[in-house]
């Protein structure tokens, strides 16, 4: 069986990933480009990053049976895959613990001023001249946009820190409980001390967070995004940070990735940046739990079963002949 993984990986990451898979599987890891187009012709499974899986790409992949993504799948044309009899599945919830921990690490780094203090100490400055501000989390209001697996985990962590937790979700079944109070979108963004985004990128959520949103937020608030860069109008965010409409931001995702070298975000003192690593706790571009899930799902499709966390429904179980 041939597994094609497309993305930008270091040699160490490639080695770690390949070791996860059964030895008799042909695992190919390539960046986007011509080499990818060569391998896609006979691959059975594709795990895509930084590429669009659309009609054009799918027309080349004659043996493809499964498109497997991480939590996000905004780069996959699901209807086109369905039309061609190709399963699409994501790994919803697999990285919930990792991302929620990353969110808390960002919050603590920001309010405890860890980046500044680290730089201060390493520059061997006079500690008697130390001047900085910080804050405790107790009593702060956390606003969570999207109450899926990650949002719920973040809410649970915040409660441990004695924070008040508000949440907004389009899912009508989400209800207030001892952990979280459900509110409307405007109430959340206008009353929260911290606003954290945990929704998928789709047409409904594209640039959900924009100039109007930032104007409604407290000027002391912290904005966090570990979901998808396209959910936020990045120019509006930069303006809000420069103008003092909000106090700061912690970002793991961006409209364009990798983040351009000349991005203003790199030069703002009230911003903490990480390179889309929230869901990769085991090292750059690597999360063993995620790849274990991928392998189980591939085996399900190989055996003629439906994949877990499927995003489409095929009219009948596809043949497994091409997988053997």
Domain annotation covers residue 157: yes
pTM, entire model: 0.87
Give percent helix, percent strand, percent coil of the chain, each to the nearest 5: 35, 15, 50
Residue 203: closest CA among 230, 174, 177: 230
Q: Among all residues, which ones are annotated catalytic?
A: 228, 257, 276
pLDDT in tens, 119-132: 999 998 888 888 88
Domain annotation covers residue 160: yes
In angstroms, the Cα distances linking 262 to 232, 265, 268 are: 19, 8, 12
Beta bridge partners of 76: 53
**Distance linking the first and last C-alpha atoms of the chain:** 6
If asked whether residues 64 and 115 sit together in one domain, one would say no
If asked whether residues 158 and 81 sit together in one domain, one would say no
One digit per residue, pLDDT tens: the chain, 324 residues? 999 999 988 898 899 899 999 999 999 999 999 999 999 999 999 999 889 999 999 999 999 999 999 989 999 999 999 999 999 999 989 999 999 999 999 999 999 999 999 999 999 888 888 888 889 999 999 999 999 999 999 999 999 999 999 999 987 677 889 899 999 999 999 999 999 999 999 999 999 999 999 999 999 999 999 999 999 999 999 999 999 999 999 999 999 998 999 999 999 999 999 999 998 877 666 788 899 999 999 999 999 999 999 999 998 654 444 454
If asked whether residues 117 and 249 sit together in one domain, one would say yes
DSSP-assigned letter for residue 264: G
CA dist 188 and 239 (Å) reads 21
Question: Under 8 Å CB-to-CB from 137, ≥6 apart: which residues?
Answer: 107, 108, 111, 158, 161, 162, 163
Domain annotation covers residue 278: no
Determine the pLDDT at residue 323.
53
CA dist 44 and 195 (Å) reads 41
Residue 194: closest CA among 225, 172, 170: 225
If asked whether residues 158 and 87 sit together in one domain, one would say no
Domain annotation covers residue 125: yes
If asked whether residues 71 and 120 sit together in one domain, one would say no
CA dist 320 and 2 (Å) reads 13
What CATH number corresponds to the domain at position 228? 3.40.50.720
Total Cβ atoms within 10 A of residue 286:
20
CA dist 38 and 30 (Å) reads 10
Cβ-count burial 147-164 (b if 16+ within 10 Å, e if not): bbbbbbbbbebbeeeebb
If asked whether residues 125 and 216 sit together in one domain, one would say yes
If asked whether residues 268 and 290 sit together in one domain, one would say no
Determine the pLDDT at residue 165.
98
If asked whether residues 48 and 6 sit together in one domain, one would say yes
Residue 211 tokens read as 């100039």
Residue 179: closest CA among 164, 195, 197: 164
Is residue 66 within 8 A of residue 89, CB to CB? The reply is yes
Determine the pLDDT at residue 284.
65
Determine the pLDDT at residue 285.
67
Domain that holds residue 236: 96-273
pLDDT in tens, 42-83: 999 999 988 999 999 999 999 999 999 998 999 999 999 999
Domain annotation covers residue 120: yes
Residue 29: closest CA among 42, 48, 44: 48
Q: Are strands 66-68 and 141-145 parallel, antiparallel or unpaired?
A: unpaired
Domain annotation covers residue 124: yes
Domain annotation covers residue 238: yes
What's the domain count of the chain? 2
Is residue 242 within 8 A of residue 236, CB to CB? The reply is no
Task: For residue 46, give the H/E element and its range.
Answer: strand 45-48
Indicate the burial class of 214 (C-beta count within 10 angstroms; 0-12, 13-18, 19 or more): buried
Domain annotation covers residue 152: yes
If asked whether residues 69 and 102 sit together in one domain, one would say no
If asked whether residues 117 and 261 sit together in one domain, one would say yes
Residue 224: closest CA among 249, 199, 192: 249
If asked whether residues 233 and 149 sit together in one domain, one would say yes
If asked whether residues 248 and 129 sit together in one domain, one would say yes
Total Cβ atoms within 10 A of residue 222:
25
């Amino acid at each position: 069986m041939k597994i094609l993984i497309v993305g930008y990986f270091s040699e160490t990451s490639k080695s770690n990933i390949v070791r996860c898979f059964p030895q008799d599987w042909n695992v190919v890891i390539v960046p986007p480009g011509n080499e990818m187009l060569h391998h896609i012709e006979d691959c059975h499974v594709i795990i895509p990053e930084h590429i669009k899986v659309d009609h054009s790409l799918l027309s080349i992949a004659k043996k493809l049976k499964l498109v497997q993504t991480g939590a996000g799948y905004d780069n996959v044309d699901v209807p086109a895959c369905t039309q061609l009899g190709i399963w699409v599945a994501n790994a919803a919830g697999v990285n919930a613990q990792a991302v929620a921990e990353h969110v808390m690490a960002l919050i603590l780094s920001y309010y405890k001023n860890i980046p500044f203090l680290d730089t201060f100490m390493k520059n061997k400055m006079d500690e008697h001249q130390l001047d900085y501000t910080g804050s405790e989390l107790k009593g702060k209001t956390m606003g969570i946009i999207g109450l899926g697996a990650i949002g719920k985990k973040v809410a649970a962590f915040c409660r441990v820190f004695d924070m008040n937790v508000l949440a907004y979700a389009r899912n009508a079944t989400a209800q207030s409980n001892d952990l979280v109070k459900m509110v409307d979108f405007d109430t959340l963004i206008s009353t929260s001390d911290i606003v954290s985004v945990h929704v998928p990128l789709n047409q409904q959520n594209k640039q959900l967070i924009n100039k109007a949103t930032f104007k409604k937020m407290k000027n002391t608030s912290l904005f966090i995004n570990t979901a998808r860069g396209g959910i936020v109008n990045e120019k509006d965010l930069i303006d809000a940070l420069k103008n003092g409409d909000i106090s700061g931001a912690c970002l793991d995702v961006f409209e364009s990735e990798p983040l351009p070298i000349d991005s203003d975000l790199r030069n703002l003192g009230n911003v903490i940046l990480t390179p889309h690593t929230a869901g990769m706790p085991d090292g750059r571009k690597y999360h063993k739990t995620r790849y274990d899930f991928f392998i189980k799902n591939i085996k399900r499709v190989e055996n003629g079963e439906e994949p877990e966390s499927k995003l489409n429904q095929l009219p009948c179980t596809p043949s497994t002949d091409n997988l053997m």
